[in-house]
Structure 1
Amino acid sequence: MQVDYIWIVLAVILLLAELWAINVVLRSTGGWESKGLWLVILIFVPLLGLIVWALFGPKREMASARKD
């Protein structure tokens, strides 16, 4: 496997993780101000933003959990 393919695979993995994190942020129960801030961080600082979001971001409580 050439080095070029490894970078492509890593970029695809990062892209999928970013899309998953954005989905979780949009479905979270937080206010739009915090959602907007996390989205800006995730979009404009992808790798570092993903790490910071994983450590300090919105919790896993989803909107559907509020109904219970």
Structure 2
Amino acid sequence: MDIQITGLLGLLIFIGDIWAILNIAQSKVTMGAKLLWVLLVLFLPLLGLIIWFFAGPKATAG
């Protein structure tokens, strides 16, 4: 059974990016800011995800 670590890591990053984009869409920032954050996450998948996690807009509860 040959499991490729890069494939698993890529899948985890993809899932994290989808989660980040959903949270960005639910945040209360302006549409322009949402667009910039989504583009950052899409064009720089791992780095964009890390930057968003620490500095990006968060979804509001409620």
TM-score normalised per structure 1: 0.81
Q: Give structure 1 stretches of 5+ with no counterpart.
A: none
* Partner residue, 2:35: 36
Q: Alignment RMSD, CA only?
A: 1.5
Is 1:9 the equivalent of 2:8?
A: yes
Is 1:58 the equivalent of 2:57?
A: yes
Q: Name the structure, 1 or 2, with higher relative contact order (CA <8 Å, separation 6+).
A: 2
**Structure number with larger C-alpha Rg:** 1
Partners of 1:40 and 1:8 in 2: how far apart? 23
Q: What code does the residue aligned with 1:25 have? A: I
Partners of 2:30 and 2:20 in 1: how far apart? 16
TM-score normalised per structure 2: 0.89
Count of matched residue positions in the alignment of Structure 1 and Structure 2: 62
After superposing on structure 2, the runs of 4+ consecutive aligned residues of structure 1 that deviate more than 6 Å are none
